[in-house]
Amino acid sequence: MIKAKLKPIAEIREMLAPYEKVLILGCGTCVTISFAGGEKEVGLLASSLRIAEAMNGQAKTFAEATVQRQCEWEFLDEVAEQINRADAVLSLACGIGVQALAERYPDKVILPGVNTTFLGMAVEHGVLVERCRACGDCVLGQTAGICPIARCAKNLLNGPCGGSQEGKCEVNPELDCAWQLIYERLERLGMLDRMNLFQPPKDWSKDYDGGPRKIVREDLRL
């Protein structure tokens, strides 16, 4: 799922400085699961902002709402009234939600309250890790189900670099070397010969290098 992280409160306060009536709008899907922008986080952020602004002598109001998904038009329409009452909306959804709001409400100031960080999962409670870069041309079939695009700092496709030490990455010793993991898993699967297959340069045009991407499913269009 999409993982996000709440922006620093100082940055949020600076963004909101020109506005009196602010709606903090959460999203009930990805950012709820990553504890960054769901109903609970909307409440916590609203409380801290109220305290901070009150101490500052500011007469600001912070309304709260959360929709099931900010990336679908129908859910955005449910909060039209609250949005229209606000001077600005602080969205705690990922960048998709922020942009959906901006498109649906062209006359309203929409601001991001979180940094959309990566596509990943919680490997344990409170530890979220990146797993996919949405490169548009999946190589997991060649790499034993471990992605070197998302998990190798150099996006290497032909084995580990010289900086791999005791299974850790030279960029950050807390990170596993993706190619060490690939090697070990191929060994376990009895497929180590895969390590010797030359992978030619990747087709990055299927990633964002080809420009913003779009999928049109003619079979699903109304």
| 212 is a site residue for another protein (CB under 8 A) | no
Toward another protein, which CB reaches closer, 94 or 149? 149
| Integer Cα distance of 122 and 142 in angstroms | 24
Helices assigned H by DSSP within the chain: 9-16, 30-33, 39-55, 73-77, 80-85, 95-104, 148-151, 178-188
Residue located via tokens 């986080």: 41
Tokens read off for 6:
């709440």
| 207 is a site residue for another protein (CB under 8 A) | yes
| 153 is a site residue for another protein (CB under 8 A) | no
| 211 is a site residue for another protein (CB under 8 A) | yes
| 103 is a site residue for another protein (CB under 8 A) | no
Which SS3 state, helix, strand or coil, does residue 105 take?
Answer: coil
| 138 is a site residue for another protein (CB under 8 A) | no
Toward another protein, which CB reaches closer, 18 or 200? 200
| 209 is a site residue for another protein (CB under 8 A) | yes
Beta-sheet pairing, 114-124 with 2-6: antiparallel
| 104 is a site residue for another protein (CB under 8 A) | no
CA separation (Å) from 219 to 184, 204, 222? Answer: 42, 27, 9
- Residue 142: how many CB atoms within 10 A of its CB? 13
Part of the chain binding another protein (CB under 8 A), chosen from 38-46, 80-88, 115-123, 202-210: 202-210
Q: By CB under 8 A, how many residues form the interface with another protein? A: 9
Q: Which of 201, 214, 216, 221 binds another protein (CB under 8 A)?
A: 201
| 203 is a site residue for another protein (CB under 8 A) | yes
Toward another protein, which CB reaches closer, 43 or 136? 136
Least distance CB 213 / another protein (angstroms): 12
- What are the DSSP calls for 119-142, one per residue? EEEEEETTEEEEEE---SS--TTT
| Integer Cα distance of 148 and 158 in angstroms | 9
Toward another protein, which CB reaches closer, 57 or 212? 212
Would you tell me which residues interact with another protein (CB under 8 A)?
A: 201-205, 207, 209-211
